Structure 1
Amino acid sequence: MSMLRTLAFLLCGGILWGCSAPAARQAARRAALERDLRMLADSVRATVGAAVVLGEGDTLTLNDRPDYPMASVCKFHQALAVLDSLERARLTPDFRLPVRSSDLLPDTWSPLRDARPEGGYSLSAAELLRYSVALSDNNACDLLFRFVGGPAAVERHVRRLGATHTRIGADEATMHRDPATQHANTTSPLEAVRLLERFRRGEVLGAACGDLLMRTMISTATGPDKLKGALPAGTTVAHKTGSGFRNAQGIAAADNDIGIVFLPDGRSYSVAVFIAASAEDDATDAAVIARISRRIYDYFISR
Protein backbone atom coordinates (compact mmCIF):
# COMPACT_ATOMS: atom_id res chain seq x y z
CA MET A 1 0.00 0.00 0.00
CA SER A 2 1.41 3.39 -0.97
CA MET A 3 2.11 6.00 1.65
CA LEU A 4 -0.70 8.16 0.22
CA ARG A 5 -3.24 5.32 0.34
CA THR A 6 -2.15 4.40 3.87
CA LEU A 7 -2.57 7.98 5.01
CA ALA A 8 -6.01 8.17 3.40
CA PHE A 9 -7.04 4.90 5.06
CA LEU A 10 -5.94 6.07 8.49
CA LEU A 11 -7.59 9.45 8.03
CA CYS A 12 -10.90 7.86 6.96
CA GLY A 13 -10.77 5.40 9.84
CA GLY A 14 -10.13 8.19 12.28
CA ILE A 15 -13.11 10.14 10.98
CA LEU A 16 -15.39 7.11 11.24
CA TRP A 17 -14.18 6.36 14.76
CA GLY A 18 -14.65 10.00 15.74
CA CYS A 19 -18.21 9.92 14.43
CA SER A 20 -19.14 6.58 15.97
CA ALA A 21 -17.64 7.11 19.43
CA PRO A 22 -20.14 9.82 20.53
CA ALA A 23 -23.01 7.75 19.13
CA ALA A 24 -21.82 4.72 21.09
CA ARG A 25 -21.55 6.77 24.28
CA GLN A 26 -25.03 8.16 23.72
CA ALA A 27 -26.45 4.67 23.18
CA ALA A 28 -24.78 3.48 26.37
CA ARG A 29 -26.24 6.42 28.35
CA ARG A 30 -29.69 5.70 26.97
CA ALA A 31 -29.40 2.00 27.84
CA ALA A 32 -28.30 2.91 31.38
CA LEU A 33 -31.25 5.29 31.73
CA GLU A 34 -33.71 2.63 30.63
CA ARG A 35 -32.15 0.07 32.98
CA ASP A 36 -32.30 2.45 35.96
CA LEU A 37 -35.91 3.42 35.28
CA ARG A 38 -36.90 -0.22 35.14
CA MET A 39 -35.17 -0.88 38.47
CA LEU A 40 -37.03 2.02 40.05
CA ALA A 41 -40.35 0.78 38.64
CA ASP A 42 -39.70 -2.72 39.95
CA SER A 43 -38.89 -1.43 43.45
CA VAL A 44 -42.57 -0.91 44.39
CA ARG A 45 -45.72 -3.02 44.61
CA ALA A 46 -47.42 -1.27 41.71
CA THR A 47 -47.43 -0.92 37.96
CA VAL A 48 -45.24 2.03 37.02
CA GLY A 49 -45.29 3.46 33.51
CA ALA A 50 -43.27 6.35 32.14
CA ALA A 51 -42.46 8.14 28.92
CA VAL A 52 -40.05 10.94 28.06
CA VAL A 53 -39.19 12.70 24.84
CA LEU A 54 -35.40 12.50 24.63
CA GLY A 55 -35.09 14.35 21.34
CA GLU A 56 -36.57 14.83 17.90
CA GLY A 57 -38.35 11.57 17.10
CA ASP A 58 -36.79 9.80 20.08
CA THR A 59 -39.12 8.76 22.89
CA LEU A 60 -38.27 6.33 25.68
CA THR A 61 -41.12 4.41 27.30
CA LEU A 62 -41.45 2.07 30.26
CA ASN A 63 -44.41 -0.30 30.76
CA ASP A 64 -46.42 1.64 28.19
CA ARG A 65 -50.06 0.58 27.89
CA PRO A 66 -53.34 2.48 27.35
CA ASP A 67 -55.23 1.68 30.56
CA TYR A 68 -53.56 3.84 33.23
CA PRO A 69 -56.27 5.73 35.16
CA MET A 70 -55.54 9.43 34.74
CA ALA A 71 -57.28 10.81 37.83
CA SER A 72 -56.79 14.60 37.76
CA VAL A 73 -54.20 14.46 34.98
CA CYS A 74 -57.22 14.65 32.67
CA LYS A 75 -57.64 18.27 33.78
CA PHE A 76 -54.71 19.05 31.46
CA HIS A 77 -56.59 17.45 28.57
CA GLN A 78 -59.69 19.37 29.56
CA ALA A 79 -57.74 22.65 29.64
CA LEU A 80 -56.61 22.08 26.05
CA ALA A 81 -60.22 21.58 24.98
CA VAL A 82 -61.51 24.60 26.94
CA LEU A 83 -58.90 26.97 25.53
CA ASP A 84 -59.39 25.63 22.01
CA SER A 85 -63.13 26.25 22.35
CA LEU A 86 -62.49 29.82 23.43
CA GLU A 87 -60.13 30.38 20.51
CA ARG A 88 -62.60 28.95 17.99
CA ALA A 89 -65.37 31.17 19.38
CA ARG A 90 -63.00 34.16 19.30
CA LEU A 91 -63.37 34.60 23.03
CA THR A 92 -60.59 35.41 25.46
CA PRO A 93 -59.85 33.56 28.72
CA ASP A 94 -61.55 36.53 30.44
CA PHE A 95 -64.88 35.11 29.31
CA ARG A 96 -66.96 34.59 32.44
CA LEU A 97 -68.91 31.49 33.47
CA PRO A 98 -71.65 31.36 36.12
CA VAL A 99 -70.99 29.56 39.41
CA ARG A 100 -74.17 28.43 41.15
CA SER A 101 -74.37 27.23 44.74
CA SER A 102 -75.49 23.83 43.42
CA ASP A 103 -72.20 23.59 41.48
CA LEU A 104 -70.15 23.67 44.69
CA LEU A 105 -70.57 20.09 45.80
CA PRO A 106 -69.52 19.03 49.31
CA ASP A 107 -67.27 16.06 50.10
CA THR A 108 -64.88 16.71 47.21
CA TRP A 109 -61.58 18.58 46.95
CA SER A 110 -62.55 22.18 46.15
CA PRO A 111 -60.53 25.23 47.21
CA LEU A 112 -63.09 27.28 45.23
CA ARG A 113 -65.97 26.08 47.40
CA ASP A 114 -63.91 26.67 50.53
CA ALA A 115 -63.09 30.24 49.46
CA ARG A 116 -66.51 31.22 48.07
CA PRO A 117 -69.17 28.73 49.23
CA GLU A 118 -72.17 30.96 48.56
CA GLY A 119 -72.33 30.62 44.76
CA GLY A 120 -74.32 33.05 42.65
CA TYR A 121 -71.34 34.71 41.00
CA SER A 122 -69.24 34.33 37.86
CA LEU A 123 -65.56 33.63 37.28
CA SER A 124 -63.41 33.96 34.19
CA ALA A 125 -62.38 30.84 32.32
CA ALA A 126 -58.78 31.71 33.23
CA GLU A 127 -59.61 31.73 36.94
CA LEU A 128 -61.52 28.45 36.71
CA LEU A 129 -58.55 26.92 34.89
CA ARG A 130 -56.30 28.09 37.71
CA TYR A 131 -58.53 26.35 40.22
CA SER A 132 -58.86 23.21 38.08
CA VAL A 133 -55.25 22.81 36.90
CA ALA A 134 -53.04 24.53 39.46
CA LEU A 135 -55.16 23.60 42.51
CA SER A 136 -56.84 20.46 41.08
CA ASP A 137 -60.28 21.72 42.14
CA ASN A 138 -62.96 19.13 41.32
CA ASN A 139 -65.92 21.52 41.27
CA ALA A 140 -64.10 23.93 38.95
CA CYS A 141 -63.26 20.95 36.74
CA ASP A 142 -66.92 20.03 36.36
CA LEU A 143 -67.88 23.64 35.64
CA LEU A 144 -65.41 23.57 32.76
CA PHE A 145 -66.71 20.18 31.59
CA ARG A 146 -70.17 21.75 31.39
CA PHE A 147 -68.82 24.69 29.38
CA VAL A 148 -67.00 22.55 26.83
CA GLY A 149 -69.73 19.93 26.38
CA GLY A 150 -68.81 17.18 28.83
CA PRO A 151 -66.12 14.50 29.04
CA ALA A 152 -66.97 13.13 25.58
CA ALA A 153 -66.19 16.50 24.00
CA VAL A 154 -62.77 16.55 25.68
CA GLU A 155 -62.10 13.01 24.49
CA ARG A 156 -62.98 13.96 20.91
CA HIS A 157 -60.68 16.95 21.07
CA VAL A 158 -57.59 15.14 22.33
CA ARG A 159 -58.17 12.31 19.86
CA ARG A 160 -58.08 14.87 17.07
CA LEU A 161 -54.71 15.91 18.50
CA GLY A 162 -53.41 12.35 18.17
CA ALA A 163 -54.27 10.77 21.54
CA THR A 164 -56.29 8.08 19.78
CA HIS A 165 -56.37 5.58 22.66
CA THR A 166 -57.13 8.10 25.43
CA ARG A 167 -60.55 7.70 27.04
CA ILE A 168 -62.38 10.43 28.98
CA GLY A 169 -65.79 9.23 30.09
CA ALA A 170 -66.50 10.57 33.58
CA ASP A 171 -66.56 13.92 35.32
CA GLU A 172 -65.57 14.44 38.94
CA ALA A 173 -69.10 14.22 40.33
CA THR A 174 -69.58 10.85 38.63
CA MET A 175 -66.28 9.51 39.96
CA HIS A 176 -67.11 10.60 43.48
CA ARG A 177 -70.51 8.91 43.33
CA ASP A 178 -68.95 5.71 41.97
CA PRO A 179 -65.15 5.38 42.35
CA ALA A 180 -65.14 2.50 39.85
CA THR A 181 -65.78 5.06 37.10
CA GLN A 182 -62.28 6.50 37.58
CA HIS A 183 -61.29 3.73 35.17
CA ALA A 184 -63.33 5.51 32.48
CA ASN A 185 -60.56 8.12 32.16
CA THR A 186 -57.43 6.37 30.91
CA THR A 187 -54.38 6.97 28.76
CA SER A 188 -50.89 5.64 28.12
CA PRO A 189 -47.67 7.35 29.23
CA LEU A 190 -46.67 7.66 25.56
CA GLU A 191 -49.91 9.38 24.50
CA ALA A 192 -49.74 11.70 27.50
CA VAL A 193 -46.16 12.72 26.79
CA ARG A 194 -46.80 13.20 23.07
CA LEU A 195 -49.70 15.51 23.88
CA LEU A 196 -47.50 17.41 26.32
CA GLU A 197 -44.80 17.67 23.68
CA ARG A 198 -47.19 19.13 21.13
CA PHE A 199 -48.27 21.67 23.75
CA ARG A 200 -44.62 22.43 24.62
CA ARG A 201 -43.88 23.09 20.96
CA GLY A 202 -46.83 25.47 20.63
CA GLU A 203 -48.70 23.27 18.16
CA VAL A 204 -52.10 22.94 19.84
CA LEU A 205 -53.00 26.44 21.06
CA GLY A 206 -52.42 30.01 20.02
CA ALA A 207 -49.68 31.96 21.74
CA ALA A 208 -51.87 33.77 24.28
CA CYS A 209 -53.81 30.71 25.44
CA GLY A 210 -50.70 28.54 25.32
CA ASP A 211 -48.81 30.99 27.52
CA LEU A 212 -51.73 31.13 29.95
CA LEU A 213 -51.84 27.36 30.34
CA MET A 214 -48.06 27.11 30.69
CA ARG A 215 -48.05 29.73 33.45
CA THR A 216 -50.96 27.99 35.16
CA MET A 217 -49.16 24.63 35.11
CA ILE A 218 -45.96 26.21 36.42
CA SER A 219 -47.99 27.53 39.38
CA THR A 220 -49.36 24.05 40.22
CA ALA A 221 -49.47 23.68 43.99
CA THR A 222 -50.33 19.96 44.18
CA GLY A 223 -47.75 17.18 44.21
CA PRO A 224 -44.58 19.11 45.08
CA ASP A 225 -43.05 15.75 46.05
CA LYS A 226 -43.68 14.12 42.65
CA LEU A 227 -41.93 15.27 39.44
CA LYS A 228 -40.40 18.23 41.29
CA GLY A 229 -39.61 16.35 44.50
CA ALA A 230 -35.95 15.43 43.86
CA LEU A 231 -35.01 18.06 41.29
CA PRO A 232 -32.57 20.85 42.19
CA ALA A 233 -34.16 23.68 44.14
CA GLY A 234 -35.59 26.32 41.85
CA THR A 235 -36.15 24.01 38.86
CA THR A 236 -39.18 25.18 36.89
CA VAL A 237 -41.72 22.46 36.13
CA ALA A 238 -45.08 22.97 34.38
CA HIS A 239 -47.07 19.94 35.49
CA LYS A 240 -50.42 18.34 36.31
CA THR A 241 -50.78 15.74 39.02
CA GLY A 242 -53.41 13.08 39.62
CA SER A 243 -54.31 10.84 42.57
CA GLY A 244 -56.94 8.10 42.40
CA PHE A 245 -59.19 6.53 45.03
CA ARG A 246 -58.15 3.51 47.10
CA ASN A 247 -60.34 0.43 47.22
CA ALA A 248 -61.35 -1.55 50.32
CA GLN A 249 -58.02 -3.40 50.24
CA GLY A 250 -56.09 -0.13 50.24
CA ILE A 251 -54.96 -0.38 46.61
CA ALA A 252 -54.64 3.03 44.95
CA ALA A 253 -55.98 3.22 41.41
CA ALA A 254 -53.58 5.97 40.38
CA ASP A 255 -50.77 8.27 41.44
CA ASN A 256 -49.50 10.35 38.52
CA ASP A 257 -47.65 13.42 37.36
CA ILE A 258 -47.02 14.71 33.84
CA GLY A 259 -45.10 17.83 32.98
CA ILE A 260 -42.51 19.90 31.19
CA VAL A 261 -39.16 20.35 32.93
CA PHE A 262 -37.03 23.40 32.16
CA LEU A 263 -33.25 22.96 32.33
CA PRO A 264 -30.77 25.67 33.43
CA ASP A 265 -29.40 26.03 29.88
CA GLY A 266 -32.81 26.88 28.40
CA ARG A 267 -33.72 23.43 27.10
CA SER A 268 -36.92 21.69 28.21
CA TYR A 269 -38.41 18.24 27.89
CA SER A 270 -41.75 16.47 28.35
CA VAL A 271 -42.16 13.60 30.81
CA ALA A 272 -45.03 11.50 32.17
CA VAL A 273 -45.05 9.04 35.07
CA PHE A 274 -48.12 6.95 35.93
CA ILE A 275 -48.54 4.56 38.84
CA ALA A 276 -51.48 2.14 38.79
CA ALA A 277 -52.80 -0.47 41.24
CA SER A 278 -50.40 0.58 43.99
CA ALA A 279 -50.17 -1.25 47.30
CA GLU A 280 -47.76 1.41 48.56
CA ASP A 281 -48.65 4.51 50.56
CA ASP A 282 -48.86 7.95 48.94
CA ALA A 283 -45.40 9.00 50.11
CA THR A 284 -43.77 5.92 48.57
CA ASP A 285 -45.55 6.44 45.26
CA ALA A 286 -44.50 10.09 45.19
CA ALA A 287 -40.90 9.17 46.00
CA VAL A 288 -40.75 6.75 43.05
CA ILE A 289 -42.07 9.43 40.70
CA ALA A 290 -39.50 11.87 42.11
CA ARG A 291 -36.61 9.42 41.68
CA ILE A 292 -37.62 8.61 38.10
CA SER A 293 -37.87 12.32 37.38
CA ARG A 294 -34.42 13.00 38.83
CA ARG A 295 -32.81 10.17 36.87
CA ILE A 296 -34.24 11.59 33.64
CA TYR A 297 -33.11 15.09 34.61
CA ASP A 298 -29.56 13.84 35.20
CA TYR A 299 -29.61 12.17 31.79
CA PHE A 300 -30.41 15.49 30.09
CA ILE A 301 -27.85 17.40 32.15
CA SER A 302 -25.12 14.93 31.14
CA ARG A 303 -25.79 15.30 27.41
Structure 2
Amino acid sequence: MKNLSTVILGILFFFITGFRLHAQNDKMKTEILEIIKGKKFNIGISVRNSKGVEIFAHNSNEKYKMYSVSKFFLALKVLHLIDNKTLLLNQDVSFAKSDLKAGLFSPLRDSNPEGITITLEKALYYIVNQSDNNVFDKLVDLSGGIESLNFYISSFTKNKNSFSMSALYRDKEGTIGNNVVTPNFSSLLLYKLMKNKIISVESKNILMPLLETSINNKRIQALVPKNLKSFHKGGTSDRVNNVLIASNDIGIVYINEKKDFFTIAVFISNSLEDDAVNDEVIAKITEITRSELINR
Protein backbone atom coordinates (compact mmCIF):
# COMPACT_ATOMS: atom_id res chain seq x y z
CA MET A 1 0.00 0.00 0.00
CA LYS A 2 2.89 2.30 0.89
CA ASN A 3 4.52 1.58 -2.47
CA LEU A 4 1.26 2.36 -4.28
CA SER A 5 1.00 5.71 -2.48
CA THR A 6 4.56 6.53 -3.48
CA VAL A 7 3.81 5.73 -7.12
CA ILE A 8 0.65 7.85 -7.08
CA LEU A 9 2.51 10.78 -5.50
CA GLY A 10 5.22 10.42 -8.12
CA ILE A 11 2.69 10.50 -10.95
CA LEU A 12 0.96 13.54 -9.45
CA PHE A 13 4.29 15.33 -9.08
CA PHE A 14 5.14 14.55 -12.72
CA PHE A 15 1.85 15.96 -14.01
CA ILE A 16 1.91 19.02 -11.76
CA THR A 17 5.50 19.82 -12.72
CA GLY A 18 4.74 19.27 -16.40
CA PHE A 19 1.67 21.50 -16.21
CA ARG A 20 3.67 24.23 -14.46
CA LEU A 21 6.45 24.14 -17.07
CA HIS A 22 3.89 24.19 -19.88
CA ALA A 23 2.20 27.22 -18.33
CA GLN A 24 5.55 29.00 -17.96
CA ASN A 25 6.47 28.23 -21.58
CA ASP A 26 3.10 29.61 -22.70
CA LYS A 27 3.68 32.78 -20.67
CA MET A 28 7.14 33.27 -22.16
CA LYS A 29 5.81 32.62 -25.66
CA THR A 30 2.98 35.13 -25.18
CA GLU A 31 5.34 37.82 -23.91
CA ILE A 32 7.87 37.33 -26.70
CA LEU A 33 5.21 37.29 -29.42
CA GLU A 34 3.81 40.51 -27.97
CA ILE A 35 7.24 42.15 -28.27
CA ILE A 36 7.58 41.29 -31.98
CA LYS A 37 3.91 41.89 -32.84
CA GLY A 38 3.45 44.50 -35.55
CA LYS A 39 7.16 44.99 -36.13
CA LYS A 40 8.22 45.55 -39.71
CA PHE A 41 10.77 42.79 -40.03
CA ASN A 42 11.25 39.05 -40.31
CA ILE A 43 12.61 37.46 -37.15
CA GLY A 44 13.95 34.03 -36.23
CA ILE A 45 14.45 33.02 -32.60
CA SER A 46 15.77 29.94 -30.84
CA VAL A 47 16.25 29.58 -27.07
CA ARG A 48 17.70 26.53 -25.29
CA ASN A 49 17.90 25.84 -21.58
CA SER A 50 20.99 24.46 -19.82
CA LYS A 51 19.89 20.92 -20.72
CA GLY A 52 19.93 21.76 -24.43
CA VAL A 53 16.14 21.67 -24.84
CA GLU A 54 14.77 24.27 -27.25
CA ILE A 55 12.21 26.00 -25.02
CA PHE A 56 11.19 28.70 -27.49
CA ALA A 57 11.29 28.71 -31.27
CA HIS A 58 9.99 31.15 -33.85
CA ASN A 59 11.07 30.58 -37.46
CA SER A 60 14.00 28.74 -35.87
CA ASN A 61 14.60 26.47 -38.86
CA GLU A 62 14.58 29.26 -41.42
CA LYS A 63 17.93 30.35 -42.83
CA TYR A 64 19.13 33.88 -42.06
CA LYS A 65 22.07 35.88 -43.35
CA MET A 66 24.87 35.74 -40.77
CA TYR A 67 27.09 38.72 -41.51
CA SER A 68 29.53 39.01 -38.58
CA VAL A 69 27.98 36.13 -36.64
CA SER A 70 30.05 34.03 -39.06
CA LYS A 71 33.17 35.10 -37.15
CA PHE A 72 32.05 33.04 -34.17
CA PHE A 73 31.98 29.92 -36.34
CA LEU A 74 35.39 30.73 -37.81
CA ALA A 75 36.83 31.14 -34.31
CA LEU A 76 35.62 27.63 -33.44
CA LYS A 77 37.38 26.23 -36.51
CA VAL A 78 40.65 28.05 -35.74
CA LEU A 79 40.59 26.94 -32.10
CA HIS A 80 39.90 23.36 -33.21
CA LEU A 81 43.03 23.51 -35.36
CA ILE A 82 44.97 24.87 -32.39
CA ASP A 83 43.69 21.97 -30.29
CA ASN A 84 45.00 19.42 -32.78
CA LYS A 85 48.32 21.31 -33.20
CA THR A 86 47.73 22.20 -36.86
CA LEU A 87 47.98 25.85 -35.84
CA LEU A 88 49.73 27.48 -32.88
CA LEU A 89 48.21 30.18 -30.73
CA ASN A 90 51.45 32.17 -30.68
CA GLN A 91 52.34 31.76 -34.37
CA ASP A 92 52.73 34.86 -36.51
CA VAL A 93 50.05 36.02 -38.92
CA SER A 94 51.38 38.60 -41.37
CA PHE A 95 49.23 41.19 -43.09
CA ALA A 96 50.64 42.95 -46.13
CA LYS A 97 49.16 46.26 -47.15
CA SER A 98 47.30 44.41 -49.91
CA ASP A 99 45.61 42.19 -47.29
CA LEU A 100 44.11 45.21 -45.56
CA LYS A 101 41.58 46.14 -48.18
CA ALA A 102 39.82 49.50 -48.19
CA GLY A 103 36.05 49.68 -47.98
CA LEU A 104 35.75 46.92 -45.38
CA PHE A 105 35.25 47.35 -41.64
CA SER A 106 38.77 46.78 -40.35
CA PRO A 107 40.14 48.26 -37.10
CA LEU A 108 43.46 46.49 -37.79
CA ARG A 109 43.84 48.30 -41.13
CA ASP A 110 42.80 51.62 -39.60
CA SER A 111 45.62 51.44 -37.06
CA ASN A 112 48.17 49.72 -39.34
CA PRO A 113 47.48 50.80 -42.95
CA GLU A 114 50.90 49.68 -44.23
CA GLY A 115 50.60 46.17 -42.83
CA ILE A 116 51.59 44.37 -39.63
CA THR A 117 52.45 40.98 -38.15
CA ILE A 118 50.43 39.83 -35.13
CA THR A 119 50.01 36.54 -33.28
CA LEU A 120 47.16 34.18 -34.10
CA GLU A 121 45.79 34.84 -30.61
CA LYS A 122 45.62 38.56 -31.41
CA ALA A 123 44.00 37.79 -34.76
CA LEU A 124 41.25 35.88 -32.92
CA TYR A 125 40.68 38.98 -30.83
CA TYR A 126 40.26 41.03 -33.99
CA ILE A 127 37.66 38.73 -35.57
CA VAL A 128 35.61 37.93 -32.46
CA ASN A 129 35.79 41.08 -30.38
CA GLN A 130 36.48 43.73 -33.02
CA SER A 131 34.66 42.03 -35.92
CA ASP A 132 37.44 42.83 -38.39
CA ASN A 133 36.52 41.80 -41.93
CA ASN A 134 40.04 41.75 -43.34
CA VAL A 135 41.26 39.54 -40.50
CA PHE A 136 38.29 37.23 -41.07
CA ASP A 137 39.33 36.66 -44.68
CA LYS A 138 42.94 36.04 -43.66
CA LEU A 139 42.00 33.47 -41.01
CA VAL A 140 39.65 31.64 -43.37
CA ASP A 141 42.61 31.19 -45.74
CA LEU A 142 44.94 30.20 -42.90
CA SER A 143 42.51 27.60 -41.55
CA GLY A 144 41.97 25.78 -44.84
CA GLY A 145 39.55 27.87 -46.86
CA ILE A 146 35.83 28.50 -46.95
CA GLU A 147 34.87 24.96 -48.01
CA SER A 148 36.84 23.49 -45.12
CA LEU A 149 35.13 25.86 -42.69
CA ASN A 150 31.73 24.95 -44.10
CA PHE A 151 32.48 21.23 -43.78
CA TYR A 152 33.76 21.52 -40.20
CA ILE A 153 30.82 23.50 -38.81
CA SER A 154 28.27 21.40 -40.70
CA SER A 155 29.70 18.28 -39.04
CA PHE A 156 27.90 19.26 -35.82
CA THR A 157 24.43 18.80 -37.30
CA LYS A 158 22.58 16.13 -39.24
CA ASN A 159 20.63 18.83 -41.06
CA LYS A 160 23.08 19.97 -43.70
CA ASN A 161 20.71 22.77 -44.74
CA SER A 162 21.10 24.59 -41.43
CA PHE A 163 24.48 26.18 -42.21
CA SER A 164 26.19 27.35 -45.38
CA MET A 165 29.21 29.55 -46.02
CA SER A 166 30.47 30.35 -49.49
CA ALA A 167 31.67 33.96 -49.46
CA LEU A 168 34.45 36.10 -48.04
CA TYR A 169 34.35 39.84 -47.44
CA ARG A 170 36.81 40.45 -50.26
CA ASP A 171 34.46 38.78 -52.74
CA LYS A 172 32.02 40.64 -54.97
CA GLU A 173 29.95 43.16 -53.04
CA GLY A 174 26.76 41.64 -51.65
CA THR A 175 27.87 38.01 -51.76
CA ILE A 176 28.67 37.93 -48.02
CA GLY A 177 24.90 37.72 -47.55
CA ASN A 178 25.05 34.22 -49.05
CA ASN A 179 26.45 32.95 -45.74
CA VAL A 180 23.42 31.67 -43.83
CA VAL A 181 22.50 29.76 -40.68
CA THR A 182 19.36 28.78 -38.79
CA PRO A 183 18.64 30.10 -35.29
CA ASN A 184 18.07 26.50 -34.18
CA PHE A 185 21.56 25.39 -35.16
CA SER A 186 23.12 28.54 -33.71
CA SER A 187 21.62 27.97 -30.26
CA LEU A 188 22.56 24.28 -30.46
CA LEU A 189 26.20 25.02 -31.24
CA LEU A 190 26.36 27.49 -28.36
CA TYR A 191 25.00 24.78 -26.08
CA LYS A 192 27.59 22.28 -27.35
CA LEU A 193 30.29 24.88 -26.72
CA MET A 194 29.14 25.27 -23.12
CA LYS A 195 29.21 21.50 -22.65
CA ASN A 196 32.78 21.28 -24.02
CA LYS A 197 31.69 19.21 -27.03
CA ILE A 198 33.39 21.33 -29.70
CA ILE A 199 36.76 22.65 -28.56
CA SER A 200 38.99 21.96 -25.57
CA VAL A 201 38.42 23.66 -22.23
CA GLU A 202 41.68 25.55 -22.78
CA SER A 203 40.48 26.90 -26.13
CA LYS A 204 37.07 27.69 -24.68
CA ASN A 205 38.81 29.76 -22.01
CA ILE A 206 40.48 31.76 -24.77
CA LEU A 207 37.23 32.33 -26.65
CA MET A 208 34.80 33.25 -23.88
CA PRO A 209 36.48 36.50 -22.75
CA LEU A 210 36.41 37.68 -26.37
CA LEU A 211 32.63 37.21 -26.38
CA GLU A 212 32.02 39.14 -23.14
CA THR A 213 32.27 42.56 -24.76
CA SER A 214 32.25 43.79 -28.33
CA ILE A 215 31.64 46.83 -30.51
CA ASN A 216 27.87 46.52 -29.87
CA ASN A 217 26.54 45.37 -26.48
CA LYS A 218 23.03 46.79 -26.95
CA ARG A 219 21.29 43.53 -27.88
CA ILE A 220 21.53 40.29 -25.87
CA GLN A 221 23.59 41.91 -23.11
CA ALA A 222 21.71 45.19 -22.79
CA LEU A 223 19.32 44.22 -19.96
CA VAL A 224 21.31 41.44 -18.32
CA PRO A 225 22.21 42.39 -14.71
CA LYS A 226 25.87 43.33 -14.39
CA ASN A 227 26.51 40.63 -11.78
CA LEU A 228 25.64 37.89 -14.28
CA LYS A 229 27.93 36.65 -17.00
CA SER A 230 26.85 36.83 -20.62
CA PHE A 231 28.59 36.25 -23.94
CA HIS A 232 27.58 37.10 -27.49
CA LYS A 233 28.49 37.66 -31.13
CA GLY A 234 26.46 40.03 -33.22
CA GLY A 235 26.15 40.71 -36.90
CA THR A 236 24.83 43.76 -38.74
CA SER A 237 24.45 44.66 -42.41
CA ASP A 238 24.17 48.00 -44.14
CA ARG A 239 20.80 49.39 -45.17
CA VAL A 240 19.61 49.16 -48.76
CA ASN A 241 16.83 51.60 -49.64
CA ASN A 242 16.24 52.07 -45.89
CA VAL A 243 15.88 48.31 -45.36
CA LEU A 244 18.28 46.74 -42.87
CA ILE A 245 19.22 43.37 -44.30
CA ALA A 246 20.36 41.87 -40.99
CA SER A 247 20.54 42.67 -37.29
CA ASN A 248 21.61 39.54 -35.41
CA ASP A 249 22.90 38.38 -32.06
CA ILE A 250 23.67 34.95 -30.66
CA GLY A 251 24.82 34.30 -27.13
CA ILE A 252 24.91 32.64 -23.75
CA VAL A 253 23.35 34.16 -20.62
CA TYR A 254 23.61 32.97 -17.03
CA ILE A 255 20.34 33.26 -15.13
CA ASN A 256 22.04 33.20 -11.73
CA GLU A 257 25.52 33.10 -10.26
CA LYS A 258 25.61 29.29 -10.29
CA LYS A 259 25.78 27.13 -13.43
CA ASP A 260 22.32 27.72 -14.90
CA PHE A 261 22.37 29.34 -18.32
CA PHE A 262 20.48 29.53 -21.58
CA THR A 263 21.61 29.96 -25.15
CA ILE A 264 19.82 32.30 -27.50
CA ALA A 265 19.96 33.15 -31.19
CA VAL A 266 17.98 36.03 -32.68
CA PHE A 267 18.16 36.95 -36.36
CA ILE A 268 16.29 39.96 -37.71
CA SER A 269 16.11 40.42 -41.47
CA ASN A 270 14.67 42.96 -43.90
CA SER A 271 13.84 45.41 -41.14
CA LEU A 272 12.12 48.73 -41.69
CA GLU A 273 12.45 49.51 -37.98
CA ASP A 274 15.25 51.78 -36.81
CA ASP A 275 18.38 50.33 -35.23
CA ALA A 276 17.29 51.16 -31.68
CA VAL A 277 14.05 49.20 -32.09
CA ASN A 278 15.85 46.17 -33.52
CA ASP A 279 18.34 46.20 -30.65
CA GLU A 280 15.59 46.67 -28.05
CA VAL A 281 13.60 43.71 -29.38
CA ILE A 282 16.59 41.39 -28.99
CA ALA A 283 17.33 42.78 -25.52
CA LYS A 284 13.73 42.33 -24.35
CA ILE A 285 13.47 38.78 -25.70
CA THR A 286 16.62 37.93 -23.75
CA GLU A 287 15.34 39.50 -20.53
CA ILE A 288 11.92 37.82 -20.82
CA THR A 289 13.69 34.48 -21.16
CA ARG A 290 15.99 35.11 -18.21
CA SER A 291 13.13 36.29 -15.99
CA GLU A 292 11.04 33.23 -16.78
CA LEU A 293 13.88 30.77 -16.22
CA ILE A 294 14.70 32.27 -12.81
CA ASN A 295 11.33 31.06 -11.54
CA ARG A 296 11.71 27.43 -12.68
Give the TM-score normalised by the residue count of structure 2.
Answer: 0.91
- Structure 1 CA distance, aligned partners of 2:7 and 2:251? 44
Q: Give the drift of 1:46.
A: 0.5
Q: Which residue of 1 aligns with 2:93?
A: 97
Deviation string 1:57-106 (CA, Å, 9 cap, x unpaired) is 52131112332001100000111111112223354311211111111112
Alignment of 1:216-227 (within 5 A): 216-218=210-212, 220-227=213-220
2:119 maps to what in 1?
Answer: 124
Letter matched to residue 137 of structure 1: D
From the superposition, tell whether residues 199 and 12 of structure 1 become closer, same or farther in structure 2 (CA, over 3 Å).
closer
Q: Which amino acid aligns with 1:196?
A: L
Decide which structure has the larger Cα Rg and report it.
Answer: 1
Confirm or deny: 8 A CA contact 1:228 1:235 kept in the other structure: no
2:227 and 2:129 map into 1 onto residues whose CA distance is: 18
Cα offset, 1:15, TM superposition: 4.9
* Structure holding more helix per residue: 1
Q: Residue 112 of structure 1 aligns with which residue?
A: 108
Residue in structure 2 matched with residue 260 of structure 1 by the alignment: 252
Distance 1:227 1:52 in 2: 12
Matches within 5 A, 1:175-254: 177-179=172-174, 181-218=175-212, 220-247=213-240, 249-254=241-246
* Shift in CA distance, 142/15, structure 1 to aligned 2, threshold 3 Å: closer
Q: Which secondary structure state, in structure 1, belongs to the residue aligned with residue 231 of structure 2?
A: strand
Aligned CA distance change for structure 1 residues 24 and 97 (closer, same or farther; 3 Å): same
Q: Does 1:61 align with 2:57?
A: yes
* Alpha-carbon contact 2:130-2:215 (below 8 Å) kept: yes
Matched with 2:140 is: 145
Q: Is 1:294 paired with 2:287?
A: yes
- AA aligned opposite 2:137: D
Q: Which runs of 5+ in 2 are unaligned?
A: none
Say how many residue pairs are matched.
292
Is 1:157 the counterpart of 2:149 in the alignment? no
Offset, 1:204: 0.7
Counterpart position of 2:83: 87
1:72 has 2:68 as partner:
yes
The two structures, once aligned, show a CA RMSD in angstroms of 2.0
Which is worse superposed, 162-171 or 88-97?
A: 88-97
Q: 1:50 to 1:208 in 2, by over 3 A?
A: same
- Would the aligned equivalents of 2:52 and 2:191 in 1 still touch at CA under 8 Å? no
Provide structure 1 residue ranges, at least 5 long, that are not aligned to the other structure: none
CA deviation after TM superposition for structure 1 residue 199, in Å: 1.0
- Change in CA separation of 1:293 and 1:228 when aligned onto 2, cut-off 3 Å: same
Which stretch of the first structure deviates more once superposed, 103-112 or 279-288? Answer: 103-112
